[in-house]
Amino acid sequence: MSASAMEFPDTSKAQLIDLKDYEYPFENLVFEGGGNKGIAYCGCLHVLEELGVLNNIKRLAGASAGAMVAALISVGVSSDELLDYLGQDIGKLMLDHEWGYLSLLPNLIKNFGWNHGKRIEEWFKKVLEKKTGNADVTFWEIYKHHKRELCVVVTNVNHMAVEYCHPKTTPNMPVCLAVRMSMSIPVIFRPSKYSANNGTMKHYVDGGLLCNYPIHCFDGWWLSMAPEDNFISRLRPLEQLHEFFDKSIRFGTFNKKTLGFLLFSDDEPEIMRTYLENRLKEYRCYKLNKYPETKLSKSRNQNSSMKMEECTKHENICSAFDKLTQVIAEHNPERQTTINMDMFIAVLLDPELNEEDHLLLFDKVIVNERDVKNIFMTLDKNSDDKIEYEELIHILETKGINVQSRFLGYCSRQVNSLQSYLSALMETMLTNTKRAFIVEDDRYRTVGINTGYIDTTDFCLEQDDKNFLIKQGWNSTVAFFREYLDTHRDDLKERLPRSEQISTNA
Residues with a catalytic annotation lie at: 64, 206
Is 206:94 a contact under the CB 8 Å cutoff? no
Best CA proximity match to 162, nearest among 180, 145, 149, 181: 181
DSSP string for residues in 10-50 = TTHHHHHTTGGGB-----EEEE---GGGGGHHHHHHHHHHH
CA distance 365 to 22: 56
DSSP sequence for 191-235: PEEEE-TT--EEEEE-THHHHS--TTTTSSSTT--SGGG-HHHHS
Element (H, E) at 115: strand 113-115
Q: CB under 8 Å to 306, separation ≥6 — which residues? A: none
Nearest Cα neighbor of 34 from 454, 453, 423 is 454
Query: Residues 6 or more apart from 409 whose CB is under 8 A from it?
Result: 271, 273, 274
Kindly report the backbone phi and psi dihedral angles of residue 92, in degrees, each rounded to the nearest multiple of 5, phi listed first: -70, -35
